[in-house]
Amino acid sequence: MTTEVGVTEPITSVDDTATAAAVQQPAPVRTLSVIVSLVLLIAISVSAYLFYDLQQVKKDQEASRQWQQQQTELATAVAALRNDSANISQEIAELRTAQAAMLADLASVRNQPQQNNFDWLLAEVEYLLIIAGQRLALDQDAAVALSALQTAATRLRDFNDPRLLPARKQLNADINALQAVNNVDISGLALYLLDIAARADKLPLKPLPGDASDEADATPQEQTVATELPFWRRLGTAILNSLKDLVRVYHTEDGTPVALLPEQRYHIYQNLSLQLETATRAVLRKETHNFKAALTMIQNGLRENFDTRDPAVGNIIDSLNRMMVIDLNPQLPTIDSSMETLRALIRETTDDPQTMATPEESVP
């Protein structure tokens, strides 16, 4: 009897079968898969690069478009500026032409026959003389009056007419008389007095015996003896010298000592400042008498209370002495003669128009 042995076959799942089939794929298939994968990867990379390059091209095109627009706007602005420059140049040329025409008209007016300008000249000179007379009579301003007279004399001289000789002669005489007046610098005097008043509290008072100045004048032997004194003696001397700065002692005519307290020193400085302000007001008001009286009081106060050996005090006293001879309100001449001569000429030319004819000769 024959015994059959059955062969048992292993049971495999479907997944295992697929895996095995894949593993068991032939080599050409695997190579083809790799190639396809590489191709796909390259295609994706090229697409990405082309997309990026397209975006850059778009950006460049936008920048180029903006640059072209800016260039167009700049060209428009340059054209407008050139147009404005041309207009300005044209206006400048027109202004120069108008100026040349005005200068030509002015030259023609100046070169017209003298009889056409004679009335105008006389009226102009009369106006200048009126100004000079008012400045002299109302403000005592010799400088402005002299300037007006000199301008009038120049106008008469430039007109070059022999009929103006009498007026020119009298006008020159009045100018010389006005120049002979000693003009006073009122503002300069006032500023000088105000400066002294501002630094009056720094002027030194008269020194007393035993002051630092006297110690400086002491002989070397006296200074040596002073240094050899005991400490308590030297301390007492130092304290005494400090107290002397607070209290000053003066002597009256009969020899009686008088103590000068700090309040009294303050009043001395204040009195000097007030006197200087009084002198300044007198200068501004041109009151010669009050001015000299104030200067006298200031000098007396400086000599009585201040150290005349100090250069500042001495210079102030010398300056005040020079001011004593100043006349703040000098007698000013009048210009009535020049005005009368000119108005006589005006009446003559008005009554007799024939005298307005062109002169036969000119004044050199």
Does some domain include residue 6?
no
Q: What percentage of the chain carries pLDDT values higher than 70?
A: 71
Cβ atoms 283, 189 nearer than 8 A: yes
Look at residue 151 in the predicted model and tell me its pLDDT: 93
pLDDT computed for residue 325 by the predictor: 85
284, 186 contact by CB (below 8 A): yes
SS (H, E, C) 196-242: HHHCHHHCCECCCCCCHHHHHHCCHHHHHHHHCCCHHHHHHHHHHHH
| Dist. CA 153–CA 333, nearest whole Å | 17
Counting every residue, how long is the chain? Answer: 364
Could you tell me if 259 and 348 lie in one domain? no
Question: Which residues are CB-neighbours of 348 under 8 A, at least 6 positions away?
Answer: 355
Give the distance between the most distant pair of CA atoms in the chain: 192
Residues 225 and 316 reside in one and the same domain: yes
pLDDT tens for 237-292 read 766 666 555 555 554 444 444 445 566 778 888 888 899 999 999 888 888 899 99
- How many helices (H) and strands (E) in the chain? 13, 2
Residues of the chain with pLDDT under 50: 1-15, 17-22, 114, 210-219, 221-225, 251-259, 354-364
Same domain, 212 and 304: yes
Domain count, the chain: 2
Residue 277 contacts residue 307 (beta carbons within 8 Å): no
Check residue 177 and give its pLDDT. Answer: 87
The range of the structural domain enclosing residue 281 comes to 186-323
This prediction's pTM: 0.43
What's the pLDDT at 127?
Answer: 93
Q: Indicate whether 211 and 262 sit together in one domain.
A: yes
